[in-house]
Amino acid sequence: MSTLRDLAEEHTALRPADIDHLHRIAGDWQLLSDLSFADLLLWVPVDGDGTFLCVAQVRPTTAPTAYLDDQVGRIVGGAEVAHLEVAHRQGRIWREGDPVWYGDVPARHEAIPVRLRTGDGEAGEVIAVVGRDTNLSTARTPSQLELNYLTTADDLAQMIADGTFPPPRHPGETTSAPRVGDGLVRLDANGKVTYASPNAQSAYRRLGYASHLVGEDLAKLHRRLAGDPLEGTDAGNAVLAALRGEAPPRREIDARGATMLTRALPLMPAGVPIGALVLVRDITEVRRRDRALITKDATIREIHHRVKNNLQTVAALLRLQARRVAMPEARVALEESVRRVASIALVHETLSMSSDEAVEFDGIVDRVASAATEVAATEVSVGMRRRGTFGVLPAEIATSLVMVLNELLLNAVEHGFPPADEEAGAPSPADAARPEAVVSAPRPEVVVSAHRARKQLHVTVTDNGRGLPEQFDAERGGNLGLQIVRALVTGELRGTIDLRNGADGGTEAAIVVPLARGTTDRLTGRAGPP
């Protein structure tokens, strides 16, 4: 199904600012639907010929819907939309007419014009119409709660017609909470409570207020209840701001181990401030879980920090032992172990600074590559370059992959390039006497490439050196480092590795690592290909 913006741009001449205002209405109109006990349909005129297109729909959570089928995308005209045409043309809320039937469901039609206020604060032209359709099959004598809901809904409907609802959204705010069913408090123009729903009363009782809310000055009550004076002042000022016609950001109140989220909205139909609407929600358990997660995250980061410290201690001990060993082969083996341990410590160091069990791997690769050129036992100066991006990888992949790359990079630097004094790398005396005959060799370089495709990570380590020996066995040949690489890629990473000579010379190691289902979406924030 097309989005609101797609439908509006395809079928109407609405301006971007008009469509943005319709998006704000669709983001906040669940409140009006629940208060009205009615379905809301957002209709936009098409081509000025009396037809209307439904671009959005919301069903109430407080009453049965009037529509079993979704109405978005429908284009209708004629007598079926006469009430929409009146509201659009005359710019007033339409409430006349007899109930209509949708199959076996009787419904009452209403139409609310939608205006976008101009830059100077004046009410602009009608750009759309909100249809408010109520299922009458369960009609009964309304309770006090329902009467207050309906009265408040009428005030908000008039504010939509005036262009003053919904209010501007504050940066970082969502529309997920609180909702009508969580708790509703209505205030008069003086800030006194005229009605509080049972759920709202329960939320305040959990904060420690046992009396009935009706008649209370809510701003003063918030200041008294809050355990933190600054928090109470902010919550109280939010109520006063709503009474002045402003739309303050949501505020939380903590008291007696409980937490309540509040949202204050001005009520000013026809531009006259008549009070405010305060929605409240008990979020005590939500905040308790948040605190538990924060504690857990801190514990995990501390564990990674200690693992990193322990690995660095092991590396230091191995380094000391290497200095005391007389046998060159043993010293080399210990120094290689130091580098392997240090590369794993890099992953845990990064995880200790992250709030997730995942790491930005590009920075780790760059550090490992830089270290490989510094500690490799070779006289040749080798350049390192990374192409593409690894992105964010989970710890279980990153830890093994960093060891694989460390081994491949060290092998490329130490064994891929002949010493400068070898015959193949030095010009003959005759050529030396004729500089024009000397062809400069390319600078030694190792390139690490990475990209993602079809839920797989493809990594290639390429050098422009002398390539693999003629009798090299790609499956069994190589030193201990290559044996470690094969074991990690095929075992821990469940991937594949192919060692081969490059098409233009040098050596190429191609690795394919499968990413778990959902890893790409969760860690990169975008959907991967099917």
Kindly tell me the burial class for residue 352, based on how many C-beta atoms sit within 10 Å of its own C-beta (0-12, 13-18, 19 or more): middle
Three-point CA angle 356, 361, 366, nearest 5°: 145
In degrees and rounded to multiples of 5, residue 122 shows phi and psi of -85, 150
Dist CA 314 CA 271 (whole Å): 73
Run of H or E residues at 128: strand 126-135
Dist CA 61 CA 430 (whole Å): 92
Residue 423 pLDDT: 42
DSSP 8-state symbol, 429: H
Q: How many CB atoms lie under 10 A from the CB of residue 124?
A: 15
Per-residue pLDDT of the chain (530 residues; tens, 9 = 90+): 578 999 999 999 999 999 999 999 999 999 999 999 999 999 999 977 789 999 999 999 999 999 989 999 999 999 889 999 999 999 999 998 888 887 788 999 999 999 998 877 787 899 999 999 999 987 777 899 999 999 999 999 999 999 999 988 887 776 566 899 999 999 999 999 999 999 999 999 999 999 999 999 999 999 999 988 888 899 999 999 999 999 999 999 999 989 999 999 999 999 999 999 999 999 999 888 888 877 777 777 788 788 888 888 888 888 888 888 888 888 878 877 887 787 777 777 777 776 667 888 898 888 888 877 766 656 678 888 899 999 888 888 888 888 888 888 888 887 778 765 554 444 544 445 555 544 556 788 889 999 998 889 999 999 988 888 877 776 666 667 788 888 889 988 999 999 888 888 889 999 999 986 444 444 444 444 33
Structure tokens at 412: 């490329």
Q: How many CB atoms lie under 10 A from the CB of residue 174?
A: 8
Structure tokens at 248: 């303050």
Closest CA to 416 of 483, 474, 461: 461
Q: What pTM was estimated for this model as a whole? A: 0.63
Summarised one tens digit per residue, pLDDT across range 31-41 is 999 999 999 99
Summarised one tens digit per residue, pLDDT across range 56-84 is 999 999 999 999 899 999 999 998 899 99
List, as one string, the DSSP characters of 463-492: E-SS---TT--TTT-S-HHHHHHHHIIIII
Residue 98 pLDDT: 82
- CA dihedral over 146, 152, 157, 158, signed as positive or negative: positive
Closest CA to 109 of 40, 28, 30, 31: 40
Summarised one tens digit per residue, pLDDT across range 169-181 is 887 776 566 899 9
